[in-house]
A = this chain, B = another copy of it.
Amino acid sequence: MTSAPLRETRRSGGRRGRAAAAATGAGGRKVDYHNLRNPFPAVPVFTDDRIAAMHQSALTVLEDLGMKVLLPDARDIYAGGGALVDGETVRIGRDMVEAALSTAPKSFAIRAGSRAKDLTMELGRLAIQTGGGAPHAADRLRGRRPGDMEAFVDFTKLTQHYDVFQMLGPSVEPQDSPVHVRHLDTTRALLTLSDKIPFIFSRGSGQVADCFEMIRIARGLDSTAFAAEPWCYTIINTNSPRMLDIPMAQGLIDFARAGQMSVVTPFCLMGAMAPVTVAGAVTLSHAEALAAIVLTQLTKPGAPICYGSFTSNVDMKSGAPAFGTPEHVKANLAVGQLARLLGLPWRSATGAGGPVNDAQAAHETQFGAWGAVLAGATILLHGAGWIEGGLTVSFEKLITDLEAMQIFAELCAPTPATEAEIALDALREVQPGGHFFGCAHTMERYSTAFYEPVVADWSNYGTWVERGSRDADERATDIWQKALADVRTPELAPDRLAALDTFIAERRAQGGAAPVA
């Protein structure tokens, strides 16, 4: 985040990465959608003194009220760091928070299956993820149905296909895969269909250890190399208010011990599991995130973590979650201020509460995304495909949101303004009332001048009717089908694939690993 002009920001770094991952559009247009630096000035919603007051209040919450921590091992780790443990209640002193913040890394690389897909986690970067964690999938061909491996595979392929989705997310829950082997099925899909950074659910040490091993095999790493840098990440949702359950606490410990990245994300819906005010909800979220960060740093000082929050409001009439609301945008902006106070990379999110891929859902996703972008989020989660407040991922919305995310990526790219761009010669060449279609300045640039849309249709009304009067949702069906047909999945070395499948077969034979509740 910087207040320098959009064009300047990108100048300063990432050129090598850009070149490596440059996507070639039709007409030779090249824009790197992988290595994004956020060019927008950070927008505050509160004064610095109020942000400081929220931080202090969060410290008071941790010190006076504490967190309810359900995992005994976690309580022991907290106690070892100086926390006051009283039954399941863990009271965390300000000094412990300060110590944790002094060891949590402010910038680190996270490794993918190829160097071009690596990312750097630090303030000022921007990585976008598709919508994730949905129990259902929906598309116009197959309808709305419980998530299954087919949907998981397709969603993974689509995430791989589009450069603007720089990381793999929790995607859709494949309920046709038995829970004790589901982590094997999903992680195999992530590692064989994509070379982007994989997501691992924290559903107990057994599953997590399996996934770590699969990543080590697929990436061709020995234990030392795997432990040296993060190669995957998990998302830790606290149980707001003020509770850390067993799998989440275990996940924080397991990932920290292994040197892998935890994305700490209290899910604080204002008026439900958090106070009804932006300031109160953000304070609670901040306290819980700090508690989780403390656990990671006590487990292993320097463990890679990503601060985060997912704070929106509920509909006070129905209790339904709402996204893209003014309160959601403001919460994103406020959390960004708190993240900058800490200096840590952080994860935000957008979302859509509506049940269909329509104008409402588009507005909601875009508003939430602007909130995250203007707040300087390092990771923007649920950027594409979410509907029903995350209960469903829509393949069509994945495509219509993809367009929006690509426009954000375009806005991260520099805009030249040399004398040649200012184009006095062209202004001299074209006479009053004329047009620039054929002038030399245009001819030299027209094929690369503009972003070329994926789904937007700008044809006139008559042509549009002739072509079947299909709205963006309908057109998106063709697009994701074609993308699935066109996707280039990475080639995993045969020996690694064989080793991966041997490992999976062994673990299946041993009964897999049941999820921990």
Contact = CB atoms under 8 A, between A and B. Distances in A.
A256 interface: no
A327 B417 CA distance: 13
A503 to B, nearest CB: 37
Copies held by the complex: 2
Contact of A450 (B271, B422, B437): B271
A81 B328 CA distance: 54
A40 B42 CA distance: 10
B432 A277 contact: no
Nearest to A331: B415
A58 B446 CA distance: 23
Contact of A355 (B366, B416, B460): B460
Contact of A7 (B46, B322, B427, B432): B46
A41 B362 CA distance: 25
Given A54-B417, A275-B442, A403 B461 contact: no
Contact of A423 (B283, B437, B459): B283
Interface in A417-449: 417-419, 421-424, 426-428, 430-437, 441-442, 445-447, 449
Nearest to A67: B432
Interface in A224-254: 239, 241-243
Contact of A144 (B360, B423, B435, B461): B461
A330 interface: yes
A283 B422 contact: yes
Contacts of A367: 366, 404, 407
A477 B119 CA distance: 46
Given A363-B404, A389-B458, A459-B318, A273 B435 contact: yes
A381 B353 CA distance: 28
B356 A471 contact: yes
A276 B446 contact: yes
B41 A451 contact: no
A54 to B, nearest CB: 6
Interface string A356-400: 111111111011001000100000000000001101100001001
A214 to B, nearest CB: 33
A262 interface: no
Contact of A416 (B60, B277, B434): B277
Contact of A449 (B53, B277, B397, B435): B277
A395 B290 CA distance: 48
Interface in A293-347: 313, 315-316, 318-322, 324-327, 329-330, 333-334
Contact of A280 (B239, B357, B363, B422): B422
Contacts of A358: 358-359, 362, 471-473
A403 B366 CA distance: 13
Q: Which of A5, A60, A322, A473 has the most CB of B within 10 A?
A: A5
Contacts of A220: none
Nearest to A245: B433
Contacts of A422: 53-54, 57, 277, 279-280, 283
A455 interface: yes
A126 to B, nearest CB: 15
Contacts of A274: 436
Contact of A364 (B50, B60, B456): B456
A370 B43 CA distance: 13
A242 B381 CA distance: 46
A243 B458 contact: no
Given A359-B397, A370-B370, A422-B53, A354 B441 contact: no
A354 B458 contact: yes
Interface string A250-267: 000000000000000000
Given A241-B436, A315-B458, A45 B354 contact: no
Q: Which of A242, A389, A424, A456 has the most CB of B within 10 A?
A: A456
A410 B279 contact: no
A457 B354 contact: yes
B424 A61 contact: yes
B353 A451 contact: no
A23 interface: no
Nearest to A356: B471
A514 to B, nearest CB: 23
B280 A47 contact: no
Contacts of A416: 277, 279
10 contacts: A242-B427, A271-B437, A275-B423, A275-B427, A276-B449, A278-B421, A280-B426, A356-B464, A370-B370, A389-B458
Given A276-B449, A358-B472, 14 more contacts: A4-B44, A89-B432, A271-B437, A277-B423, A279-B421, A283-B424, A318-B458, A319-B437, A322-B458, A326-B413, A354-B472, A358-B359, A360-B403, A367-B407
> 6 closest Cβ contacts across the A-B interface?
A280-B423, A326-B410, A68-B432, A362-B362, A358-B471, A359-B362
